[in-house]
Structure 1
């Protein structure tokens, strides 16, 4: 870290309802327990309910899904922070991802099963898909987290098995329907860490980060760690999330994150990936605000920089300044996938959102597939309203900027870029595509969306089909000229392990350049 640059971290509480307060509201609500047919609210999984909107007050709105693991059903509550017991109750198809405690319990049941293989090299890990629920004849379903069993020394050559565990019934299904359960392929070479190795040790959900050079404050922002990133319940998080981003005292972004991450294989399998599950990587330094936040002495290294190991000494968000820019990074897991959620904030005001793709030993990723990451940038250039969006094309004779005045989507092409600026001051940011960001295919849908801000449009709700991004449903002709503008930016990463591309292993993402 440069001697004349200081990185200052301060833990900041989130705006919203604690799980304890929401559980109390559920107990007092006349409709929630009746809808779920549950007598005791202590049996329910109740999340933290984050406040929605800009600068939320005590009466800010919230959305949260309450889940009954026995009945395998959810309801969604929509209300306000000051009166959660009066929230509207709606049926919900949302199913939360298995948490570390649930997976640890499932692993104990699996290891006690007579069919569990013998050997010291067996690893029980998180596979894909994360759930293999079983439908009963009466239409009810049984929640069954999946577990991968890695057996590198199996004499038959079967290195991966994926099983489903009924925690309530304490049973193991070694051949769950719809899951390829006996797999000889062993793509990648990083042995996955077991589910028992990923305990959450607490620490703040978010911190305020200040970058100060001499007497000048360059950056001031809130950083939310993946486990608490929006949206969740409903939603699957968004990696490292930035909020209230200010450069040299001026507001740039109210919120920036990756709420949608999916993958499609050429043979047809698709997944919508969890973007909130933190995993280990290498980061050396000190923890000034507690566990999960590390101010590094040298560059942190994820699985992309350490390609043959899934181990590490840290889990959370690492920060490092190299003398020219601040890097904010975490490593995520979704089954056998490993992702680098990475932000670079330059001392010159340039913002480089980055996302990287890797995997541990698994039976699938050597098949051709494409990852699609969708950043959401809630621009507030100097304030929440009055922003203007323009499209520009580079060339020997550059035409005048073309204003985009209605909600729309756009495809990338060479030489094209966009800018969002404040209509009064002219200040703003250009959006330049990264060299490896690709162009959308039919599954990727598009490359950019320009939308009017709405508090509840934090993701697409994952309505399908096949986990495909459904952002087009927000394009309804609203005016965005002089409004509060949200830009969605998609990066598309092609992975063919047999024929790697020149950019294989690189991070993707745009450059946001100050005007």
Structure 2
């Protein structure tokens, strides 16, 4: 988890202003993924192994069965893994050199799939029931289907931890960015006040800590000229009636997760067969919501919406010339013409005996769900 001096020098030199993939030539093998899933849905995308952020997906297009493709993301990447320990120190920023720390994958790490450049796995796997509807005694009316998903993943060795970064693309049009942490416990010896006893007796305590993971999503629904971000809240807690409140974000914004709060990105001119605007919904309800001290203001919100700037690549420790240091400073009052979404998901790791080597993977992430992308169930059920 150490940001070494050599890396710090690289960041100070301004490598965060690396060329922007949005104007790059279309990708080719082995960086192109074009996968049709059993229900007929298809995902097309490119991937890069960036020096700073590691695995980055670009030019992501969802193609429902029998329909035209819809552009979803111009790019998506990890933007920080902030690891503060409960005693107050240390406080790591683990992203800054993920590409060089990528772990070579074996065939066992990529079951049923294909390894690309030895560090990226592209595979498919079942995701469980897509739907199930009883036929009420009529077998001909029964509807049931099993879903599948495309997975693009990479692993990184950062200090004691091994991180597994996954981009999961469902046959229903959903996208699930998530990060798993495994490897070894850091080995800090602390007191019961800040940790948990592991091993025999009560002589060794593993210190509790948080993993605050940020993702950066540059949505471009069929191009970047008209995208709009909306926040939805449902008032009426403790009452029989609830009211939907929609807030269109016209300027950069900071938001916290709340019960029954979600966001969506839409293009008002791109519509489905029912005439409804095509959009993708962002829900960030599964988070421990860590809030750090004033000097870690980037942890004070769960979702940030900013105007696109090429140099704004990391949620903290950005260190790019002519660019702010962290995402809380990016989100000023600039008018949104090309919005970028930053999502912060926290996990508080309190060690247990089961975490003895090798530590089981603990996952954190969020879900991006299609909303009115197709006029009916993409399975046709």
Alignment partners' CA distance in 2, 1:288 and 1:499: 35
Alignment partners' CA distance in 2, 1:49 and 1:446: 25
Match of 1:476 among 328, 332, 353: 332
Structure 2: which 5+ residue stretches go unaligned? 1-8, 64-68, 127-146, 190-205, 236-240, 271-276, 320-324, 372-381
Alignment partners' CA distance in 2, 1:454 and 1:239: 19
Alignment of 1:157-306 (within 5 A): 207-213=31-37, 218-224=42-48, 228-229=49-50, 232=51, 237-248=52-63, 249-267=69-87, 268-274=89-95, 275-276=98-99, 277-279=101-103, 282-283=108-109, 291-292=117-118
2:228 alignment counterpart? 388
2:188 alignment counterpart? 364
Is 1:411 the equivalent of 2:232? no
Structure 1: which 5+ residue stretches go unaligned? 1-35, 37-44, 58-203, 293-314
CA shift for structure 1 position 492: 0.7
Change (3 A) 1:257 1:290: closer
Alignment partners' CA distance in 1, 2:78 and 2:94: 11
Please tell me whether the aligned partners of residues 112 and 124 of structure 2 are also in contact (alpha carbons under 8 angstroms): no
Is 1:321 the equivalent of 2:115? no
Match of 2:19 among 30, 51, 67: 51
Change (3 A) 1:216 1:56: same
- Kindly provide the CA deviation profile for residues 166-190 of structure 1, in whole angstroms up to 9, marking residues without a partner as x: xxxxxxxxxxxxxxxxxxxxxxxxx
Is 1:375 the equivalent of 2:231? no
Alignment of 1:91-170 (within 5 A): none
How many correspondences in the alignment?
Answer: 286
Change (3 A) 1:401 1:461: closer
Alignment partners' CA distance in 2, 1:353 and 1:317: 15
Change (3 A) 1:375 1:215: closer
Larger Rg, first or second structure (1 or 2)? 1
CA shift for structure 1 position 254: 0.2
RCO (CA 8 Å, sep 6+): is it higher in 1 or 2?
2
Change (3 A) 1:479 1:247: same
Alignment partners' CA distance in 1, 2:18 and 2:343: 24
CA shift for structure 1 position 289: 7.5
Q: Which has the higher strand share?
A: 2
Is 1:355 the equivalent of 2:206? no
2:278 alignment counterpart? 427
TM-score, normalised to structure 2's length? Answer: 0.67
CA shift for structure 1 position 338: 1.4
Please tell me whether the aligned partners of residues 429 and 512 of structure 1 are also in contact (alpha carbons under 8 angstroms): yes
Give 3-state SS (helix, strand or coil) of 1:423's partner: strand
Give 3-state SS (helix, strand or coil) of 2:329's partner: helix
Change (3 A) 1:271 1:212: same
Change (3 A) 1:49 1:477: closer
Change (3 A) 1:50 1:216: farther
TM-score, normalised to structure 1's length? Answer: 0.50
